[in-house]
Structure 1
Amino acid sequence: MNKYIHLSIVLLILFVTIGCSKETDKTVNDNSQEHIKLDIAIHVANPKGQEPAFYWIVQRFMEKYPDIKIELHGTEQKAHIKKIKMMAQSDSLPDIFWVLPSSAKELAEAGFLLDLKPFLNNHPEMVENLHLNMLDSYSLDGQQFGLPYQSLVTGIWYNKAIFEKNNLKLPETYDGLKSAVQTLHENNIIPIAKGANDPYSVWAFLTMLSRYGYFEKIDSILAGNESFNNEDFLNFYRKIAELRELGAFPKNVATQSYFQAVQMFLNGEAAMLDAGIWETKKIEESSIAGDVGFWWGPTFTDGVGNQKISSIVPAAPLVVNKHVEKDKAKYEAAMKFLGFYFSEEGASIMIENQVAPIMKFDGEIDSDLHPVFANVMNVINDTSWESKQNQPDLIVSEGIANAMYDSIYGVINGIYSPEEAIKIVDSKIAR
């Protein structure tokens, strides 16, 4: 692949690294005992503050295995992705790292990633307890090149108090949502908080797109046998335009960030927020905690297929550098970490930090102590809804995903008509 260095350069780097350096990944602890070092890199600048569940899993793991030292490296997502691509070019990837699905697949195809199928074979209980759609997305030609970092659960947070104050019930259908938006706007309340400065923040709208036959069509579209510019998708984009015309979004949506949109919701200025359950803890610590619910979004009478589609999908994967297998001690340490991460103990740490565990969870959440999280888990466990297999933007290339974000926010901002928006994605796919 053009984005990776030529094989001769890789071999030269490996020769220099192996032949000229005697440095190892064994370090010495305060008691002068050797321990194994693992480098783990994730996609946030402040792991303890932004990804506390992962951070505390790392801390508890090191307490359990004091002979293993984990260096946890956190970098803001865009910079992290860029850094991973540069490290791949120099064949110096971290031992374990978070990466976008499209990049993970490219790295797997180029031979940079460890096959985790043996790990799964050694942990059949883990496979049995995972949601069915959590592994298939990261399998290629019989190789398991990644495991889900977390369950990616996205939808619409809503403020029950605002709905009640305006004599509104949580809508079930698009027509109900449209009516609620109109009432809220007329009463000077922002219906849906959004921020286009972070263009990926369209999760609920991607789920709505799934209700127009996205997964039934996308393989054929990518193969060139069908077009993204089709009547069903156009109907969806027309709904977005209609919501914009009704005043569904903040006036400053074009200049606002996702994080400002979150704050707008927490301040009680907006009735709804397009986000995911990673905001659970922040909401529980806010003044509106007792009034917040979680919703999968509206169904559509002109939609395609099952309308009761939820979004409980595998988050971008954790992957392992293939070079790890060359060092037996490091390989065993990496497998121990994955085993801990996907264990009941790992799941309990996620629950402690109000993150829905990757594994199936049948326990109860204390609704008095954690009302928001308890509500979320009840919604997740509602079997009358069926999760889509993945998030629509995570099964296409990064370029196509960016075009999808641009098209949705382009309509929200009034820059594109629905017809222009779908042509943008169609043109990107054609290229």
Structure 2
Amino acid sequence: MKKSIIGVLLLASLLTVSACGNSSKEGKGSDDKVVELHSDKGEKKTMKNVIPIIKDQTGLTLKNVDTIDFSAYQTNIQQSLSSKKAPDLFTWWTGSQLNELVANDLVEDLTDVWPEFVKAGVSDEIKEGLSVDGKVYGSPLNILYNGVFYNKEIFTENNLEEPKTLDDFLAICEALKKKGITPIGLGNTWQSFVWPMALVGSMDPTLYDEWTAGKVGFDDPRLKKVFYLWADMLEKGYFTAQQQDQAKDFATGQVAMILNATNMVAGFTEDYGLVSGENIDIFVLPSQKADQKRTIFYEVAPILVAKNGQKKEEAIKVLTAYYDQEAQQAYADISGSAATTNVKFADAISKRLSEDAGDSENFNLKLRYYEQFTPEIVNLSIDEYWKIADKPTKEQVDKSLEEIQKQWEAVK
């Protein structure tokens, strides 16, 4: 009797172990079909309708792993990249932070698959911003284009039209100021770089490229000329005081214009009831001559493939499917942004700027200033630009640019 009971228990134990083993294998098999995208962007909502499309095309399930806290996310990724726990896919930043990962051989070279992304609709003009030493290491989660939002009602009431040249734009600022309307919202603590960047791109796009490539310094006479113009605009009262609530000031008509990215549209619609293309619209800051290309600045959150990732092949399949037009349209419908230029946006502003960005004959695409320099130079320059905003004189321009130049020479 005891032997019989023991035999039954032993058999039951073996069956349990066998079942656990099968369950483990099934779980592993299931995990093999899951590709994780780690991000600090909070993408679960925007990817909701994209995931089924990717699965239909690849048989793989994209799983979003969100870590909203920036510092925690950055630390977690950096600690895992050199281990076997490296993420399949993860979002990062361009510029010096991407360069650092490449220098330590932590991310996969995507140069060979980049043409497939371009064929799907990713703009080849953003390639440089995702590259290091001529090789592509990132692909876009989305691309946010920056333009000048303007209050259409204020423009109509004051018989103003969208500017065709930079002089036209300055004339609009002067006309608004004379009417007692503040032309431009300056923004909060980190946004002091926006207008210097925009004016350099408008007045001398080649200089912008040389500047951000480190070929000319912050004390270059041509650069100073642009900053003198910005200081003059500040002195004339074309901007609000620094560190204002830019979105609120614009949405409530306290200012006529702001320069920002198209992802602002959703907030204007949801929070203030503004209708894109009716109450508000957007234009690209013009060049000095009407027939010159205008410069659109973009910001991009790159998706990277970890060099030590266990599912590199699957990760690249997911990325390729992500740029399918159906997937991108699903993403655009929720987020108001996209990684490709061939989607149709519901709102007029996103549609217009996306089409402009795809028009390489009339527009330059350039990665924004914030991602172009090392963090210490960016942070120092932001502080110095605020000093110019507070005291807009040629003397302060010279002093601030020379201060940045010293630090830039020390770290480059």
**TM-score over 0.5 for the alignment?**
yes
Q: Does 1:68 align with 2:61?
A: yes
Instruction: Output aligned runs, 1:261-340, within 5 Å.
Output: 261-285=246-270, 286-289=272-275, 290-300=278-288, 307-311=292-296, 313=298, 315-324=300-309, 327=310, 330-340=311-321
Q: How does 1:210-225 map to 2 (within 5 A)?
A: 210-213=201-204, 215-216=206-207, 219=210
Q: Which moved more, 1:343-352 or 1:406-415?
A: 406-415
Partner SS, residue 127 of structure 2: helix
* Alignment-derived partner of residue 19 in structure 1: none
User: Letter of the aligned partner of 1:408 in structure 2?
Assistant: Y
Helix, strand or coil at the partner of 2:308: helix
1:95 is aligned to: 88
1:27 Cα deviation after fit = 8.1
Alpha-carbon distance change, 71 to 418 in structure 1, aligned in 2, over 3 angstroms: same
Which amino acid in 1 is paired with 2:175?
T
Give the drift of 1:79: 5.5
> Per-residue displacement from partner, 1:248-301 (whole Å, max 9, x unpaired)?
2223x23x3xxx311222223221112111123233444331221111114347
Structure 2: tracts of 5 or more residues without a match = 1-23
CA distance 1:125–1:373, shift in 2 (3 Å):
closer
Q: Say if 1:161 and 1:379 are closer, same or farther in 2 by CA, change over 3 A.
A: farther
From 182, 186, 197, the equivalent of 1:194 is 186
1:342-374 C-alpha deviation (Å, 9 max, x unpaired): 11122212331363433342x665xxx633334
**CA gap 1:114/1:246 in 2 versus in 1, 3 angstroms:** same
1:398 pairs with one of 350, 375, 379: 375
Q: Is the Cα–Cα contact under 8 Å of residues 285 and 294 in structure 2 kept in the other structure?
A: no
Higher alpha-carbon deviation: 275-284 or 200-209: 200-209
Any conservation in 1 of the 2:153–2:279 contact (CA below 8 Å)?
yes
Contact 2:294 2:363 in 1 (8 A): yes
Counterpart code for 2:280: V
Residues 127-206 of structure 1 mapped to structure 2, 5 A cutoff? 127=119, 129-141=121-133, 143-197=135-189, 199-200=190-191, 202-203=193-194, 205-206=196-197
Q: Where does residue 236 of structure 1 map in the other structure? A: 226
Deviation, structure 1 residue 175: 3.3
- 1:55-104 per-residue CA deviation (whole Å, 9 max, x = no partner) reads 54346545776763514213254654455445557785432111111211
- Preserved contact between residue 212 and residue 233 of structure 1 (Cα < 8 Å): no
Query: Which stretches in structure 1 are left out of the alignment for 5+ residues?
Result: 1-24
Q: Cα 1:125–1:342, aligned 2, differ >3 Å: closer, same or farther?
A: closer
- CA–CA distance in structure 1, aligned partners of residues 404 and 26 of structure 2: 50
Query: Percent of pairs identical after alignment?
Result: 17
Cα offset for 1:53? 3.8
Question: 1:414–1:360: structure 2 CA closer, same or farther, 3 Å change rule?
Answer: same
SS in 2 for 1:264: helix
Is residue 39–residue 73 contact of structure 1 (8 Å, CA) maintained in 2?
A: no
Question: How far is the alpha carbon of 1:113 from its aligned partner?
Answer: 0.7
Pairing 1:371–2:371 present: no
Q: Structure 2: how far apart are the matches of 1:317 and 1:281?
A: 22
Q: Distance in 2 between matches of 1:135 and 1:375?
A: 22
Are positions 1:39 and 2:12 aligned together? no
Counterpart amino acid of residue 35 in structure 2: L
Residue 316 of structure 1: how far off its partner (Å):
3.4
Distance 1:314 1:355 in 2: 15
- What is the CA-CA distance between 1:232 and the residue it aligns to? 1.3
Work out which of the residue numbers 50, 73, 82 in structure 2 matches 1:57.
Answer: 50
Judge conservation of contact 1:264–1:270 (CA < 8 Å) in 2: yes
Q: Is the 8 A contact 1:145 1:319 kept in 2?
A: yes
CA positional deviation for 1:428: 2.4
State how far apart, in whole Å, the 1-side matches of 2:38 and 2:117 are: 27
Work out the CA distance in 1 between the residues paired with 2:318 and 2:401.
43
Contact 1:115 1:144 in 2 (8 A): yes
**TM, length-normalised to structure 2:** 0.78
* 1:8 counterpart residue number: none
**Which of the pair has more CA radius of gyration?**
2
Aligned length: 381
Separation in structure 1 between the aligned mates of residue 216 and residue 349 of structure 2, nearest angstrom: 42
Counterpart in the other structure of 2:390 = 413
Structure 1 residue 229 displacement after superposition: 0.7
1:106: how far off? 1.0
Deviation at 1:180, TM superposition (A): 2.6
